[in-house]
Chain A
Amino acid sequence: MHTEPYIPGLILDREGLRFNGLRIYSPRTYSPQTRENAKRDAMWDYFAYMASRNTRVVWGRKKLGKIGGCLSSGGQPAAQSASASQAVARRLPLPENTDVGVENAKMKALFKPKPKTPADLVRQTRDLLIFADRGTDTKESKREEKMMELSKLIRDLKSILYGDSESEPVSEACTQLTQEFFRENTLRLLIICLPKLNLETRKDATQVVANLQRQQVQSRLIACDYLEKNIDLMDTLIAGYENTDLALHYGAMLRECIRHQSVARYVLESEHMKRFFDYIQLPNFDIASDAAATFKELLTRHKSTVAEFLSKNYDWFFAEYNSKLLESTNYITRRQAVKLLGDILLDRSNSAVMTRYVSSRDNLRILMNLLRESSKSIQIEAFHVFKLFAANQNKPPDIVGILVTNRSKLLRLFADFKTEKEDEQFEADKALVVKEIAALEPK
């Protein structure tokens, strides 16, 4: 059932989406990169789906050595974890899970007691983070020692979540870790203390936070629950773009957090959204491009949220988008912006926004200027937006006026307008646009 508003001329069929005969979306036009993303999304959706079905997803297969390594069986905590996993195994008769308990029992016999469960590690990390956060009331030497220990702990957490060169992660250990991590305020502490950690530990911490966003405990993404209650953390992460040292770490964490739809909605509707227009154009390339990636993620990942955001905030958003991004003096900003604009407008869920956008004379003017750029890449991307103006069967008179006035120039431009590689889709679109413009009568 279609829930989106009825758009005249918009047809969805097996071949993809058409707008007045123009194919605006077809699965084939996906680039390999997009396909990669789609695959990643599919994985993510799968987990979300399994979560909704109350099914536990087992990440990776465990190996004997790993269980010994990370659960460190023996002693009381190990017995705990063994029984915990047995309980899980009983509850969920998944093949991967059934032998966990048995293996753990074996491990108990094999390994000397060295009790540090994942939960223990998290607790120790938290204690040290609290210490680090408190400031400099201890001796420098002692402090350094504790920070070293903290670095080691965070690395241990990372290898539980990701596995290491010898073994792959064990779901049971990951669950324990996640549960303990979000039981208290560890994430907040970690984010706040990040500036106090050294570079390697910052990277480890970022990877830990990223991984935790996907971990499920009792078939729930508890990271999402936590973030909803601590949504102000997003403010901290976004502000990170203003700090050269932290931007890449906070930026990576932020992108993982906005995988949760509710979190993305918060960011979209917050005042922060306006700041992204500046972050994208920061002089530092690695930071600016990281901000651009986050911006793109916000505007493309959660379709319904994006559509809602765009229709509610249409006026200011596109005013900013046009003036700050599409008309930027910065080549890379213009190129990325026009590409993203195409992605947004050609997305089926944004069709209402699209029809509104292509009825504006100002927008047409900007896109036509981009068509004249010396950069081939910008020209091509601009064409993919321009074609929507031409294909619109309900063109306002002023749009028709502009197109008719510039008809000969446009047709001349399109006459030797080619993609580097041959692209049938592009040629077909071009032919249609040319036909459309040639047939225009001034109203």
Chain B
Amino acid sequence: MSHDQKKEEDPRKVNNQYPLDSNCYKILDEIGKGVSAIVYKAICLPIDSSVVAIKAIDLEKLKEDFDNVRREAKTMTLLSHPNILPAHCSFTVNTRLWVVMPFMSGGSLQSIISSSYPDGLSEYCIATVLKETLSALSYLHGQGHLHRDIKAGNILIDSNGSVKLADFGVSASIYESNLPYGSSSSSFSSSMMLTDVAGTPYWMAPEVIHSHTGYSLKADIWSFGITALELAHGRPPLSHLPPSKSLIMKITKRFRFSDYEKTKDTKNKKFSKSFKDMVGLCLDQDPSKRPSAEKLLKHSFFKNSKGPDFLVKTLLQGLPTVEKRFKEMKTQMPLSLNKTEEEDDDESVSENPKQRRISGWNFNEEGFKLDPVFPSDHKQVTFGGETIIKDKGKESDGSSNSSSPEQVLPETDQISVQESGSDSQGSNAGGGHYETDQISVQESRSENQGGNASGGQSVISGGSGAGAGAGGVVWKDNEMVLKTLKFLKDSVDDQRHLVSHMINLVRVEDTANLSREEQLMKEIDNLKVELENEKKKNSELQLELEILKLQLSDE
């Protein structure tokens, strides 16, 4: 034990030697980028050109006091654990805060997964990596600290296979004052653009989204469970949904681990019982029922863990460098980059602290009909409208057991109509927004119903069973046939009109349900504008009053 402590002390003495002057460092490459921070690979010239990672945080983007930054920078300096990425030193360079850290050449697990293991890692790998992470978490919790942002993007691996938990605090708190969901720039994650702004909600515990008090130690355990799933599948659950939807899933408590497992079993991925049990414990809706980090370390799943050499031989084998992965991501995913920027804009609207807490929304949970959609194994994570439409197709298969027939009909119909709608609208419909698409399709449908093949067919088969039966008998006489056909056609037309009318009725209702969230958001926006106007008027009046008072007192 005393030996251990000596070991821990020694590197700290070395740490203090890192110069506090930006001129002593030579920046080599950009290896990560977040909302208000950039991470560089650099060398420290006075210390034998040793390689370091430098996180440059733009302080100008922090609107609040520096109290949080201070507190977290301090905690980071004072933490000392083999599985926690320490800071060598930190100092300011103009408006940026430079945090100098050891360079972890393996990068983040998230970037490793997205570059080489899109379908997830083996259970041995998961157990090895997560055991180390958990021991870091147990130390943190013992010190009374929360990590608040456990995810694969924050678990880093060095070339020797050592695992370190990164981005403790500084980023979490920094982004907390900036962004509503405490998302962070995970230093090395290659698909940072995807996870950065949008990411963190997927890992957030339900009570974090709900409550006003925010995090408890057990919220980290939830995120840990989600991270386990992320490592197993290559992405966190619900990640094919935009973050706000993911949040709503958890708010409505539709997301349960058991549900997730059910759908998983139908796919070919099998997990051991101990893995499922471990994740299940972490994802208990009731925080008090989740195990502590210390307790979880003793779980049988972690008996599968191996040493760092194992990671070097398996996980790190033939992996592109961190820089390469970052560059590839930048060039290969311009689309998602753009998307993220859009997300960014959306987020910046909600940067206002008044609406920082999601629990402030007051939408009707019962009226919210969207069922959770589970990720299919071969689909890329995108946030565009197309993916959502495709998902709807899959969802309707799955939901047919649970939801009533009335719900199924409009939903299947909706998909076919949507597709034909985008056909008729030409090329510009493809990227169109979900909501607007729906409305425009509805219009085009009522105009040219004859041409709408798929929509029509479903109506025939569903609507006129009796007429179709009669058609088989009347073959002999052409006239009879013609007459019958005419009759049939009329009746079918009638039926079609009737059914389409009914569908429209149902559809309108359904649309209302589906977009309830958006409607409420719009309403909130409108109310806000009104409120602002009122406030402006009020302040103008007050100003006038004050000036009048001033004049009075002068006289």
Chain A residues packing against B (C-beta within 8 Å): 18, 20-21, 31-33, 144, 147-148, 165, 198-200, 203, 244-245, 248, 283-286, 289-290, 292-293, 330-332, 335-336, 339, 375-377, 420-422, 424-425, 427-428, 431-432, 435
A-B contact pairs, 17 of them (CB 8 A): A18-B546, A31-B65, A32-B64, A199-B5, A203-B78, A248-B77, A285-B73, A286-B74, A292-B66, A293-B70, A332-B59, A332-B97, A424-B538, A425-B539, A428-B542, A431-B540, A432-B546
B91 touches A283 (CB 8 A): yes
Q: Give the distance in Å from the alpha carbon of A428 to the alpha carbon of B351 in the complex.
A: 23
Q: Would you give the shortest CB distance from B142 to chain A, in whole angstroms?
A: 8
Q: Is the interface of A mostly helix, strand, loop or mixed?
A: helix
What is the CA–CA distance of A76 and B375 in the complex, to the nearest angstrom?
65
Interface string of B78-108 (1 = CB under 8 A from A): 1010000000011110110100000000000
- Which residues of the other chain, A, contact B90 by a CB distance below 8 angstroms? 284-286
Which of B20, B70, B352, B539 has a CB less than 8 Å from the CB of A290?
B70
The distance from the CB of B93 to the nearest CB of chain A, in whole angstroms, is: 9
Tell me how far the C-beta of B40 lies from the nearest C-beta in chain A, rounded to whole angstroms. Answer: 17
Whole-angstrom distance from the CB of B456 to the nearest CB of chain A?
A: 52
Q: Which residue of B lies closest to A419 (CB)?
A: B63
Say whether A284 contacts B67, CB under 8 Å.
no
- Does the CB pair A331–B91 fall under 8 Å? no
Q: Give chain B nearest CB distance to A122 CB in angstroms.
A: 22
B21 at the interface (CB under 8 A from A): yes
Q: Given A203-B78, A284-B91, decide whether A332 and B542 contact each other with a Cβ distance below 8 A.
A: no
Nearest-CB distance from B414 to chain A (Å)? 39
The stretch of B8-16, B219-227, B232-240, B468-476 that contacts the partner chain = B8-16
When chains A and B are docked, how far (Å) is the Cα of A125 from the Cα of B292? 31
Complex alpha-carbon distance, A309 and B150, angstroms:
47
**Chain B residue contacts of A375, Cβ below 8 A:** 60, 95
Number of contacting residues on B, CB 8 A? 51
- A200 and B91 in contact (CB under 8 A), knowing A33-B65, A289-B66, A293-B70? no
Given contacts A165-B292, A283-B20, 19 further A-B contacts (CB under 8 A): A18-B546, A21-B547, A21-B550, A33-B64, A148-B1, A198-B5, A198-B9, A199-B12, A203-B143, A248-B74, A284-B90, A290-B74, A293-B70, A331-B92, A336-B66, A375-B60, A377-B62, A421-B352, A424-B535
A-B interface contact total, Cβ < 8 Å: 108
In the bound assembly, the distance between CA atoms of A257 and B73 in angstroms comes to 22
What is the CB-to-nearest-CB distance from B138 to chain A, in angstroms, rounded to a whole number? Answer: 11
Residues A331 and B95 in contact in the complex (CB < 8 Å), given A21-B546, A31-B64, A422-B532 = yes
B373 an interface residue at 8 Å Cβ cutoff? no
- CB of A424 within 8 A of CB of B536, answer yes
Q: Is the interface of B mostly helix, strand, loop or mixed?
A: helix
Q: With a CB–CB cut-off of 8 A, which chain A residues contact B5?
A: 198-200
| Interface flag for B543 (CB, 8 Å) | yes
The residue of chain A having its C-beta at the shortest distance from the C-beta of B348 within the complex is A420
A72 to chain B, nearest CB (A): 22
Q: For the complex formed, measure the closest distance between the CB of B302 and the CB atoms of chain A, giving whole angstroms.
A: 20
CB distance from B114 to the nearest CB of A (A): 32
Report the Cα distance A18→B9, complex, angstroms: 55
In the complex, the answer to whether B77 meets A286 with C-beta atoms within 8 Å is yes
B2 within 8 A of A: yes
In the complex where A290-B74, A332-B66, A427-B536 touch, is A144 in contact with B2 (Cβ < 8 A)?
A: yes
- Measured CB to CB, the nearest residue on chain A to B8 is A199
B69 CB–A CB distance under 8 Å: yes
Q: Report, nearest first, the 5 A-B pairs whose CB atoms are least far apart.
A: A289-B70, A283-B20, A285-B90, A21-B546, A428-B539
Give the contacting residue for A286; candidates B63, B70, B292, B549; CB below 8 A. Answer: B70
Q: Let me know if A200 and B80 touch, CB within 8 A.
A: yes
CA–CA, A332 and B549, complex, Å: 40
Chain B residue nearest to A380 in the complex (CB): B63
Shortest B388–chain A CB gap in Å is: 31
B residues near A, CB below 8 A? Answer: 1-2, 5, 8-9, 12, 16, 20-21, 59-60, 62-70, 73-74, 76-78, 80, 89-92, 94-95, 97, 143, 292, 294, 351-353, 532, 535-536, 538-540, 542-543, 546-547, 549-550
Q: Give the distance to chain A from B56, nearest Cβ to Cβ, in Å.
A: 12
Give Cα A144 to B4, complex, Å: 13
Q: How far is the CA of A20 from the CA of B95 in the complex (A)?
A: 36
Give the docked Cα–Cα distance between A165 and B217 (Å): 11
User: How far is the CB of A253 from the nearest CB of chain B, in Å?
Assistant: 13
A437 CB to closest chain B CB, in angstroms? 14
CB distance from B437 to the nearest CB of A (A): 33
- Interface hub of B1, B5, B20, B143 (most chain A Cβ within 10 A): B5
- The answer to whether B1 touches A428 (Cβ under 8 A) is no
Alpha-carbon distance between A331 and B547 when the two chains are bound, in angstroms: 37
Residues of B within 8 A of A18 (CB): 546
Distance between B126 CB and nearest chain A CB, rounded to angstroms: 26
A377 to B61 Cα, complex, angstroms: 9
Are B60 and A292 interface neighbours, CB within 8 A? no
Contacts of B97 in A (CB 8 A): 285, 332
Please state if B543 and A432 are interface contacts (CB–CB under 8 Å): yes
Question: Within 8 Å CB of B89, what residues of A?
Answer: 284-285
B12 / chain A contacts, CB cutoff of 8 Å: 199
Whether the pair A199, B547 counts as a contact (CB closer than 8 A) is: no
Q: In the complex where A21-B547, A33-B64 touch, is A148 in contact with B2 (Cβ < 8 A)?
A: yes
Residues from chain B with Cβ under 8 Å of A199 in the complex: 5, 8-9, 12, 78, 80
In the bound complex, CA of A9 to CA of B542 (Å) = 17
Q: Please give the distance in Å from A246's CB to the nearest CB on chain B.
A: 12
User: A427 to B549, alpha carbons, bound, how many Å?
Assistant: 19
Q: Which chain A positions have C-beta within 8 A of B539?
A: 424-425, 427-428, 431
Question: Across the two chains, which residue of chain B brings its CB closest to A293?
Answer: B70
Contacts of A428 in B (CB 8 A): 539, 542-543
Find chain A residues with CB under 8 A from B540 CB: 431
**How far is the CB of A124 from the nearest CB of chain B, in Å?**
19
In the bound complex, how far is the Cα of B540 from the Cα of A285, in angstroms?
43
**Which residues on the B side are within 8 Å of A20 (C-beta)?**
550
Residues of B within 8 A of A425 (CB): 539
Smallest beta-carbon distance A334→chain B, Å: 10
A144 proximity list for chain B (CB < 8 A): 2
List chain A residues, Cβ under 8 A from B68: 33
Closest to A421 in B: B352
- Which residues of A are found within 8 Å of B66, using beta-carbon distances? 289, 292, 332, 336
Residues of B within 8 A of A147 (CB): 2
A335 to chain B: closest residue by CB = B59
- Once A148-B2, A248-B77 are accepted as A-B contacts, the answer to whether A21 and B549 lie under 8 Å apart by CB is yes
Alpha-carbon gap, A422 to B80, bound state (A): 42
Cβ of A18 to closest chain B Cβ, rounded Å: 8
Report the minimum CB–CB distance from B143 to chain A (whole Å): 7
B63 / chain A contacts, CB cutoff of 8 Å: 377, 420
Assembled-state Cα–Cα distance A248/B540 (Å): 48
Inter-subunit contact B60/A376 (CB<8 Å): yes
Complex contact B547–A285 (CB within 8 A): no
Chain B residue numbers with a CB within 8 Å of A244 are 16
> What's the Cα separation between A258 and B239 when bound, in Å?
49
Complex formed: what's the CA distance from A33 to B69 in Å? Answer: 13
Closest residue on chain A to residue B19 by CB atoms: A283
How far is the CB of A33 from the nearest CB of chain B, in Å? 5
Q: Within 8 Å CB of A21, what residues of B?
A: 546-547, 549-550
B94 partner, pick from A203, A286, A331, A422, beta carbons under 8 A:
A331
Q: Is the CB of B73 within 8 A of A289?
A: yes
Q: Which residues of A contact B94 (CB under 8 A)?
A: 331
Question: Taking CB as reference atom, which chain A residue is nearest B80?
Answer: A199
A331–B59 touching, CB < 8 Å: yes
- A290 CA / B71 CA spacing, docked (Å): 8
Q: Which chain A residue lies CB-closest to B15?
A: A244
* B16–chain A nearest beta-carbon distance, Å: 6
Residue of A18, A165, A286, A330 most packed against chain B (CB within 10 A): A286
Closest Cβ neighbor of A435 among chain B residues = B547
For B64, B74, B80, the residue with the greatest tally of chain A CB atoms inside 10 Å of its CB is: B74
A431 neighbours in B (Cβ, 8 Å): 539-540, 543
What is the minimal beta-carbon distance from A89 to any residue of chain B, in angstroms?
31
